[in-house]
Amino acid sequence: MKRSRLPVIAIALATSLSLLAGCEKAEMPLPKADTTEPPAPQTEAAQGGANGAATVPQSERESTLKMARQEIDQLKTKIDELGVKAKDASAALKEKLTAETRVLEQGLKELETKFNALKDASAGAWADMKASFNASLDKLKQSVGKSGQQSKPTGSSY
């Protein structure tokens, strides 16, 4: 009789261990992901922190920074052109344009600082930094546009 119990106990023990092992690996079914387009790779900065902030795709971040850099370079060129116009202008206009150019150059320096902060912004701070940068960019564009309009010669000599 002792022999007939041994296989039953062994089977019961094996069954218990397999059920116990199966309990540890039980997982909830996951929803199927849409596989039409693979997700863009993200850097650690764009993945968000522990607070679960929304992430910005790396490609969007790069294109935004590229366009911002182009805008800054265009504004710098326009401000430099105003400086050249100031050198060739009459005394009264020269003084006015020189003062405006200094103010615009200071605004450009502040915009560069915001751009550098935007480049280094975490995923959680990206949206706020981008909004702040865009507001400063628009303000400087308007100022440069006004200065450019005022520096044009009046009259119909063309």
The DSSP string of 23-65 is: HHT--PPPPPPP-SSPPPP--TGGG--TT-PPP--HHHHHHHH
Residue 30 lies in a domain: no
Beta carbons of 151 and 97 less than 8 angstroms apart: yes
Residue 16 lies in a domain: no
Q: Compute the average pLDDT of residues 109-138.
A: 93
Which among 6-20, 37-51, 97-111, 139-153 has the top mean pLDDT?
A: 97-111
Please calculate the CA angle 41-44-49 and round it to the nearest 5 degrees. Answer: 120
Residue 48 lies in a domain: no
Residue 61 lies in a domain: no
Question: How does residue 30 score in pLDDT terms, banded at 50, 70 and 90?
Answer: low
Q: Which residue has the higher pLDDT, 64 or 148?
A: 64
Nearest to 141 by CA among 47, 41, 67, 72: 72
Residue 110 lies in a domain: yes
Residue 81 lies in a domain: yes
Containing H/E element for 71?
Answer: helix 58-88
Beta carbons of 114 and 129 less than 8 angstroms apart: yes
Domain span at residue 107 reads 69-149
Q: How far is the C-alpha of 156 from the C-alpha of 42, rounded, in Å?
A: 56
Looking from the CA of 150 toward its CB, the CA atoms found within 13 Å total 17
Q: What is the pLDDT of residue 90?
A: 85
For 75-120, the pLDDT digits (tens) are 999 999 988 888 888 888 888 888 899 999 999 999 999 999 999 9
Q: How many domains does one find in the chain?
A: 1
- Judge residue 99's burial from the number of C-beta atoms within 10 Å of its C-beta, 0-12 exposed, 13-18 middle, 19 or more buried: exposed
- In the numeric block, the tokens 């039980």 are attached to 26
Residue 130 lies in a domain: yes
Q: How far is the C-alpha of 37 from the C-alpha of 115, rounded, in Å?
A: 31
Beta carbons of 94 and 101 less than 8 angstroms apart: no
- Residue 45 scores a pLDDT above 90: no
The pTM (predicted TM-score) of the whole model is: 0.59
Residue 156 lies in a domain: no
